[in-house]
Each structure stands twice: as structure tokens, then as C-alpha cells.
Amino acid sequence: MNQLLHVSSSPHIKDKVTTSSIMLDVVIALLPATFFGIYQFKIKALFIILTTIITCVLSEYIYEYFMKKTITIKDLSAVVTGLILALNLPATVPLWIPMIGGIFAIIVVKQLYGGLGQNFMNPALAARCFLLISFAGRMTNFVFDGLTSPTPLVVLKNGQSYELLKMFLGTTSGTIGETSTFALLIGAGYLLIKGIIKLTIPLTYLIIFSIFTLFFSPCSFDFYYLACELCGGGLIFGAFFMATDYVTSPMDRKGQIVYGIILGILTGLFRFFGTSSEGVSYAIIISNLLVPLIDKITLKGGVF
């Protein structure tokens, strides 16, 4: 009862810690994927990451300054939003795209709804979906080893096989931060050890998606295919770093389980019955919109 509830725009906890310390831990957890992305996609990836972070921080500062609000850039939440958005972008995009995405994430999704803790969607993911809709060609142009290359999930969706080890280590095409499952799991482990996130949402999400894949994918009960699906399309990134967003995820454990179930089903539907080979971003955004209803049902005093 004496615990303080700290609102954050990414992985979260209840504890006597500051928002900035939580955000710093999230940044640290994202460093393995960030460094790998820069190693794999070279200097262009670094420029995209820096551009997105700087745009997010400046957008927050300028908006709060002119609206005469308390300046909150020191809480590092804008840095986290910028980093997550950057890691969700292909290394091929021109720098004006992360600029537009950063402005949209901070001003439209975050600040216009009241700032930190008031947004009803994950700002970074909402910006990614906005960019995907607005600039589909540029947002789906992936290059690996200097050549345009389809992502592993596109290859799988076309009925071909892919080498699992490459997907796990990250030597594939994809967005800057999603390719290396290994690097992402290192970061996820750090968040779990530090107590920044709990396993409830990610574990439920991955289990339900696995069950859905085994029964309804084109390769039913093919565990190698399942492993490839788990390692591809930013699923690990989304499960541990975006679905755990405090503001846009349910407040209690029952709600979080329901939320994870919805995430797993929606991701499966998008991947196996839709035109998208990825599905994680849209699944999380739609689930974000359902969180108020989930909380109303599962919290004390709710519908049931």
C-alpha cells in the first residue's frame, strides 16, 4: 500500500524509484540490440538512431516550452521512445522519416493527450504504424549485405525455409533492432533481473502465439517453423519492450493475462491470415485500445 506508482512510457514497475532510473534501465537493456544493429547496418543505422532520439527530445522540449508546461526531458522517456522507434525502422529510410516519426510519437500520441502517462497507445509503435501506412514503400525496403533482401518472415510466408540460427543471431534483413533475437533476450533478461518488467505479458503472449502457430499456420505442428516465427518479425522485441508499456497495458495480473492472450491471437491472425508477414505492431496497437475495457472487466468493481 505504501508503494509509489511511477508512470512510464515503456517497461514499468511499482517501486520507490524514479521514472528516469527506470528509463535508464530500459536504455541499457536496448544497448545490445542497438550495438548489433549499428554493427550490422553500419553508419546509416547510427544516424537514424541519433536523428530519431534527438527529434523526440527536441519535440518534447519545444512543445512543453511553448505550452508553458514543466520540461520533462530529464526523465529520459523521450529518449526511450526515440530509441524504440529507431530500432523499429529499416536502415534504408531517409532521415526525414525518423524526424516525422519522432514528432508524431511525441507531440501527437504523447503530448496532445496530456503527456507522460496519459497516452492511450505506445508512442513509438503508433509512430511506426503511421509511417508504415504513410510511407509503405520506404518502410518495407530492407537491405542486407548491401543487397535488397526480403525479411525471413516474408520468405516463410512464401512457403520457403529459412536458417533458424541466422534468425536467432540476427544475420538477416529486417529493422535495425529486431533482427537479433539473442541481443534482445540479453536486454529482456536485464529488465527481468532488475525487476523493471514481469513475465506475465511476454510469456502469455508468446505461449498463445505458439499455440496459434501450431494449429493454424501453414506448417501446423512444425516446431522448426514455430521457432522461426518466434525469432522473426520483432516478436521478441514487441513482447518484452513494447507490450509491457505501463500506460497502455492492463493494471492487474488477470488483465495482463487477457491482454497477452489477445496479443498472441491477433499476431497470429495478422501473420497467417492477413497480408502482413509481421503483425506485431498492429496487434499491440489494437490491444492498447482494448486495455480500458480489459481493466474494467478484470479490476475490482468492474463488470463482473
Contact 87/237 with Cβ under 8 angstroms? yes
Determine, yes or no, domain membership for 14.
no
Determine, yes or no, domain membership for 6.
no
CATH code of the domain in which 68 resides: 1.10.3430
Determine, yes or no, domain membership for 11.
no
Determine, yes or no, domain membership for 10.
no
Determine, yes or no, domain membership for 303.
no
What does the chain look like in DSSP terms, one character per residue?
----B---SSS--BSS--HHHHHHHHHHHHHHHHHHHHHHHHHHHHHHHHHHHHHHHHHHHHHHHHTTPPP-GGG-HHHHHHHHHHHTS-TTS-THHHHHHHHIIIIIIIGGGTSTTT-SS-HHHHHHHHHHHHSHHHHT--EETTEE---HHHHHHTT----HHHHHHT-S-S-TTTS-HHHHHHHHHHHHHHTSS-SHHHHHHHHHHHHHHHHHSTTTT-HHHHHHHHHSTTHHHIIIIITT-STTS-SSHHHHHHHHHHHHHHHHHHHHHSS-S--HHHHHHHHHHHHHHHHHHHSTTS--
181-216 pLDDT, tens per residue? Answer: 999 999 999 999 999 999 999 999 999 999 999 999
**Residue 176 structural domain:** 19-298
Determine, yes or no, domain membership for 9.
no
**What per-residue confidence (pLDDT) applies to 279?**
92
Total structural domains within the chain: 1
Determine, yes or no, domain membership for 4.
no
70-86 pLDDT, tens per residue? Answer: 999 999 999 999 999 99
22-31 pLDDT, tens per residue? Answer: 999 999 999 9
pLDDT at 115 over 60: yes
Determine, yes or no, domain membership for 1.
no
CA–CA separation, 133 and 85 (whole Å):
15
Average pLDDT over residues 103-127: 93
258-284 pLDDT, tens per residue? Answer: 999 999 999 999 999 988 888 999 999
Sign of CA dihedral 251, 284, 84, 38: positive
